[in-house]
Amino acid sequence: MLFQLHDQGSTNTPAWVLTVNTDGSGTLTNDDTGGGNGSKSFKAGTFDSASLAAALGQLNVGHLPRCPSAETIAPVEVNTGSVSFGSHATLFYKGKVIRSFCPDSPAEAAVTSQLSRVVAIANP
């Protein structure tokens, strides 16, 4: 496993967990409490695991977040709608739980961009 991305869902969208493996394969599991679409599997090469690993490798996971203006990880492409019903995600990488990134960090901005691409492909 390369990483997992957990989205807690919102009033309008079900929760989901996306697991991406080092070979670019993955699994998307939707919340089964209603409104979810079950699970999807993605074959090897679906996700650009080399670019993902490179971006994630630039993170100093021991010091995240390290700025006062940290923002939650928000895959906004799939959580459109009212801000009051917004959703945010948690990244699990190398045994660390990452809930936010510093918006002015190039490394963290690169990971956010890569995660947005992954979520767009997975289409939870």
- Residue 75: the pLDDT is 53
Please count the CA atoms within 13 angstroms of the CA of 86 that sit on its side-chain side.
10
* Contact of 93 with 3, CB cutoff 8 Å: yes
How many degrees, rounded to 5, is the angle at CA 99 between CA 122 and CA 70? 115
Domain region containing 23: 3-122
Average pLDDT over the chain reads 80
- Residue 32: the pLDDT is 59
The model's pTM: 0.80
- Residue 33: the pLDDT is 55
Q: How many domains does the structure of the chain reveal?
A: 1
Q: Which residues contact 114 (CB under 8 A, 6 or more apart)?
A: 48, 51, 52, 55, 56
Q: What is the pLDDT of residues 71-117, one digit of tens each?
A: 677 653 333 344 444 567 788 888 888 888 887 888 888 888 888 88
